[in-house]
Chain A
Amino acid sequence: MTMTSDALEALTSAGFSRRHFLKGAGALVVSFSAAPFLDAMPSTQGPVDASPQQIDPTRLDSWIAVAADGTVTAYTGKCELGQGIYTAQMQLIAEELSVPLSRVQLIQCDTSVSPDQGGTSGSRSTPTNFNERNLALAGATAREALLRLASKRLGVAVDQLAVAAGVVSATADSSRRVSYGELVAGRKFDIPLSSSATRKPPSEWKILGRSVPRVDMPAMVTGRLEFVHNVRVPGMLHGRVVRPAAVGATLVSVDESSVGDVPGLVKVVVKKNFVGVVAESEWQAIQAANKLKTAWTRGSGLPSQRDFHKRLRGQTPSQDAFVVSSKDVDETLAHATTVLKATYLYPYQMHGSIGTSCAVVDVRAGKVTIWSATQSVYALRSGTARLLDLAVENVRVIFTRGAGCYGLNGADTVSYDAALLSQAVEKPVRVLLSRTDEMAWENFGSAYVIDQRVGVDAEGAIVAWDYESWFPRHGGRPGHDRPGNVVTGALAGFEPSTVTARRATDPSDSFRNGSNAAPSYVAGCVGGTCGGTGRVKSERVLTHAVRSPFFTGPLRSPSRLQNTFAHECFMDEVAARVKADPVAYRLRHLHDARLSEVVSAAAKAARWEARSSPRPDAGRAGVARGRGIACVLYEGDNGYCAMIAEVEVDQATGRVATKRLVVAHDCGPVSNPDGVRNQIEGGALQGLSRALSEEVTWDDRKVTSIDWRTYRSLPLGFEVPIVESVLINRPDVEAFGAGETSITVVAAAVGNAIFDATGARIREVPFTPERVKKALDARTGTA
């Protein structure tokens, strides 16, 4: 239970690398005095003598420890990816235990010390740890346990006690007091998490709910923060990979003599189609990788990008699913006064982290230590064990900060790369991917083709909504047992998950809209219960997954963004057809009060002028101005968001300048308002970059968007719009995520604003000047 020298010794003799073990006198944990981000994350503290199977999430000691000096250490499986969750979780613990933030330390995502909470993904960290379970429940359980101990010690009933700054005192006589450190006195709690433990009511919050500055910010801006890229261990070598020359190409030969003269070269490593080099220095490894002569087969060839979307529709095999199907859609459409129909297209896009992915792995004597920016330490642990054919208990994964990932970037891939290379040389190896290796082989966000039909009655109300989509898929999150879902595992001979034929069956149990395939305006009636946010009861939502030539995987707001783009633009088309105001028309078809409220709040904040689109005075030349709205209930149950975009379209060039984005947001109780705003703003602008500019490209053999000239991200120097956020705080309801809400609605809001300004509807992302110009030139009828 203690981080004693014995425990350290045990860990070391068990074969794990040790680095920056902090010595100290704490009984339960080692307290540490240096600011945590100046050096290594305090990842090796805590109950390191507990083998991973003993980290039992039902026990309080797996989550919280109180040292003799009163320091509270919490262990979490939700880690800092740049979203601010580290600070927010510290706030949570400080609040629940009534200790100052400075007395809290947080250990994140280390398979030797933190509970298995799955991955840090899907905007699920706040829902998982800030509601009545997991970390929040641990905080409440600890507080109650400490109060019980204090009651016994002071001889005062629990309801006659108060806590401030980690000291419990009798309300009637504050001289009768005892500190947490004195109460625990070096013991474990040795109790289970209590499902009846009561959290501190939001009305009493002093730390949670405030805009506490990020604790890591000073270290970040002064270049002191340790990223995985900065991890250096004794005896460490540098690796680089050599990827195939084309998609689907297999290795024919490797000419090791081509690198015979590279100084510092340690080894050329080949495992099936995986090729890498290891050298003493990074620069030597780069030179060796560049010089190594390899021969590959021609590869599988790639379908033409020009008609790629067209070929998705009808492709086999196809894995089909109904999200909802009322079975009367065709009939309702046949009787509708007006039927509208449109197809929306979305490209493959990439995570494109600003830093290429990096990992350090030490495989020696059958023991593996991995420093990785993975989103899923436990899954990477099992996946690596599989890849290296070692027992899972011999693998330890220590999360170390990386560049923002926005989903499944190359973090797992490069961890596998370093693991294979380290296993081959039996020394610790650091691998940093080149920009091209990162971009050409990452798991892209999926392309989409979405067909929709909507029927409108004589009163202009929507009576039926039909949606059908096709999207390509290949690989994905490697999880615990699918290393082939990312490129390295596949090259080393593991099979990726692939699409197999499956016919759609009627949805049973309940309405689930996790991918937001169903628009906000349908009722979502499944099994006699209607779980959607809208009113339209004649509804069909059918999805087809087909095979992708490229690896795919979750990219910030996976599928949800693509679907919302199609729904919300099409909703605008329908509103325009019946000459309705887009805000009022949305409200007319929504029944969910909270979704309606964000729509209304955004409209109010933006001073939305009620009228139909396009704007009545829209001219055909010059700069046209317009506004558009879009909204979503993210994943059907994880955060409400509405956005109004104001744009200017240069009708001579097709260039779109976004002037203002107004966002109304409801994620329940707000843990850190400035943190949520930071997420909203970043999501809004990242969404803008994806809407206006980003697209994966390829030729007949390989990906051609392989750097920042060929994959265009809006730089700091573009005309940045004003972003205004309206936070609707609801302290007494369930906490939702906030990381993927605003990004989900940007493309639709901007597309609708372009239509409002010009009367031209753009149904394909990205809205490049060429594409917009083409749509402007194709306008017919009166403007």
Chain B
Amino acid sequence: MSSMALMVNGRRRTIEVDPATPLLYVLTDDLQLRGPKFGCGLGQCGACTVLAAGRAIRSCITPVSTVREAQITTLEGLGTVENPHPIQQAFIDEQAAQCGFCLSGVILTAKAFLDQNPKASDAEVQQALSDVLCRCFAHTRMFRAIKRYQEQAV
């Protein structure tokens, strides 16, 4: 165990943790955040996605010790119920979810990609999400929401 400081959703958090612990468990257990989810523990589905320095990473396979310098943003760090981020608002507007468990992967992966590639084509956006799963298959709505966000952001 060692003491470690992390910057999560704009706040500095100090935790006592085994440095090999995947970031996901630090976020969900130590910091009790609800955005990132355990989906597979293998980096295959996206449910655990967070932003680290603006890049979408899979927190279930990222040792916490490797991100101590980075600004980490989880789904709840983007916006709130009262003041959602524009991409979250787009998902509300399109009612783009069913169970909602996969949303960290879908929203944060899309956001990170579009922030870097604001003029990406539909095919490129689709390609960027090639490794993200939604088992309720709300795909059509999710792409509509992402498109809506992209058109607003450009």
Contact = CB atoms under 8 A, between A and B. Distances in A.
Chain B interface residue number, banded: 35 or more
B126 interface: yes
Nearest to A724: B140
Contacts of A404: 98-99, 101, 135-136
Contact of B101 (A227, A238, A281): A227
Contacts of B97: 82, 214, 217, 220-221
Interface string A701-721: 000000111000111111110
A353 interface: yes
Contact of A223 (B33, B39, B133): B33
B132 A716 contact: yes
A221 B84 contact: yes
Nearest to B81: A218
B6 interface: no
A709 B44 contact: yes
B75 A222 contact: yes
B92 interface: yes
A209 B42 CA distance: 42
Contacts of B106: 716
B47 A355 contact: yes
B136 A355 contact: no
B134 interface: yes
Interface in B83-132: 84, 88, 91-92, 95, 97-104, 106-107, 126-132
Given A216-B100, A222-B76, A720-B143, A682 B47 contact: no
A38 B81 CA distance: 8
A686 B135 contact: yes
B141 A678 contact: yes
Nearest to A218: B81
B21 interface: yes
Contacts of A358: 38
B75 A689 contact: no
B28 interface: yes
B140 A720 contact: yes
Nearest to B98: A82
B29 interface: yes
B99 A221 contact: no
A81 B99 contact: yes
Contacts of A380: none
A674 B104 CA distance: 23
Secondary structure at chain B's binding surface: helix, strand, loop or mixed? loop
A232 B28 CA distance: 10
Nearest to B91: A221
B100 A225 contact: yes
Interface string A499-535: 0000000000000000000000000000000000000
A717 B127 contact: yes
A223 B25 contact: no
Interface in B137-154: 137-143
Interface in B26-70: 28-29, 32-42, 44-45, 47
B78 to A, nearest CB: 7
A686 B106 CA distance: 17
A283 B18 contact: yes
Contacts of A713: 133, 135
B22 to A, nearest CB: 7
Interface in A463-508: none
Contact of A224 (B44, B81, B92, B130): B81
A354 B102 contact: yes
Interface in A299-358: 352-356, 358
Contact of B129 (A281, A681, A717): A717
Interface string A216-249: 1111111111110110100000100000000000
Given A221-B92, A224-B34, A681-B141, A83 B98 contact: yes
Given A217-B97, A221-B84, A229 B28 contact: yes
A411 to B, nearest CB: 12
A717 B126 contact: yes
A38 B37 CA distance: 17
A352 B135 CA distance: 8
Contact of B136 (A82, A224, A232): A82
Contacts of A224: 34, 76, 80-81
Contact of B134 (A84, A354, A688): A354
Contacts of B130: 715-718
B51 to A, nearest CB: 12
Nearest to A81: B99
A223 B95 contact: no
A404 to B, nearest CB: 4
Contacts of B141: 678, 681
Given A220-B103, A230-B34, A283-B18, A682 B98 contact: yes
Nearest to A685: B137
Contacts of A723: 140
A281 B140 contact: no
Nearest to A403: B101
A295 interface: no
A186 B72 CA distance: 49
A435 B38 CA distance: 9
Nearest to A232: B32
B140 to A, nearest CB: 5
A353 B140 CA distance: 19
A5 to B, nearest CB: 27
Contacts of A216: 100
Contacts of A686: 135-137
A646 to B, nearest CB: 15
A434 interface: yes
Contacts of A683: 137
Contacts of A717: 126-132
A708 B18 CA distance: 28
B44 A223 contact: no
Contacts of B143: 716, 720
A217 B104 CA distance: 14
B95 A716 contact: no
Residue in B33, B40, B95, B139 whose Cβ sees the most chain A Cβ within 10 Å: B139
Nearest to B110: A716
B126 A719 contact: yes
A432 interface: yes
A282 interface: yes
A718 B129 CA distance: 9
A402 B99 CA distance: 8
A446 B99 CA distance: 24
A24 interface: no
A262 to B, nearest CB: 11
A376 to B, nearest CB: 18
Contacts of B99: 81-82, 354, 401-404
Contacts of A219: 81
Contacts of B95: 213-214, 217, 674, 678
B34 A223 contact: yes
Contacts of B80: 222, 224
A378 interface: no
A232 B34 CA distance: 11
B135 A282 contact: no
Closest 3 CB pairs of A and B: A223-B35, A82-B99, A717-B130
12 contacts: A83-B98, A213-B92, A214-B97, A283-B18, A355-B47, A403-B37, A435-B44, A682-B98, A685-B139, A713-B133, A716-B132, A722-B140
Interface of B: 1, 18, 21-22, 25, 28-29, 32-42, 44-45, 47, 74-76, 78-81, 84, 88, 91-92, 95, 97-104, 106-107, 126-143
Interface of A: 35, 38, 81-84, 213-214, 216-227, 229-230, 232, 238, 263, 281-283, 352-356, 358, 401-404, 406, 432, 434-435, 674, 678, 681-686, 688-689, 707-709, 713-720, 722-723
Given A225-B100, A353-B101, A435-B41, 5 more contacts: A218-B88, A353-B135, A354-B45, A688-B137, A719-B126
